[in-house]
Amino acid sequence: MPWLARNRHIGSLARALHRYGLAERGWTAAQILHRIELHATDTHTLPLPLSQIRTPIAYLMRQIHNCISPTELSPARQSQLDAQARAHRRAAEEADAVELRKRIVAEKEQIDAIIAGMQLRHRARPS
């Protein structure tokens, strides 16, 4: 997309993208362009012809702003965070299960006594 930086240094584009924080949030150029295409399809909008775009970098940044929120992580980064959260939840659930098994083992005699008492009361009930 050499037209993006026409009449400007490519660093202008790099600074604009850096200010929006896309790289820090894991976005790649391909993901950004894909999201812009999806947004255009969803909103039934056509891109402007190149001859009508006076400031290509500003035009690109407007498109990015329209389809990627300033805090949105890239799909890959979001997927990683979701996987980490699931792993932490599973680890916490497993730790809870281990703790419950330990409590059951520690209280086995008391549990057995309660069950035996219930069985005695059930047998002693008149039919």
Residue 124 or 91, more confident: 91
Q: Residue 77's pLDDT is what?
A: 93
Residue 121, both tokens = 């009361």
What burial letters (b/e) apply to 106-126, b meaning 16+ CB within 10 Å?
eeeeeeeeeeeeeeeeeeeee
Task: Tell me, yes or no, if the pTM score tops 0.85.
Answer: no
Q: Residue 127's pLDDT is what?
A: 61
Tens digit of each residue's pLDDT (9 = 90 or more) over 3-58? 666 677 778 888 888 999 998 999 999 999 999 999 999 999 888 887 888 888 88
Question: Three-class SS of residue 99?
Answer: helix
100, burial (CB in 10 Å: exposed 0-12, middle 13-18, buried 19+)? exposed
Q: Residue 11's pLDDT is what?
A: 83
Q: Residue 4's pLDDT is what?
A: 67
Q: Residue 28's pLDDT is what?
A: 93
Q: Report the distance separating Cα 30 and Cα 22, nearest Å.
A: 12
Q: Residue 124: which pLDDT band, with cuts at 50, 70 and 90? A: confident
Tens digit of each residue's pLDDT (9 = 90 or more) over 54-96? 888 889 999 999 999 999 999 999 999 999 999 999 999 999 9
**Can you give the residue ranges of every domain in the chain?**
2-67, 75-124
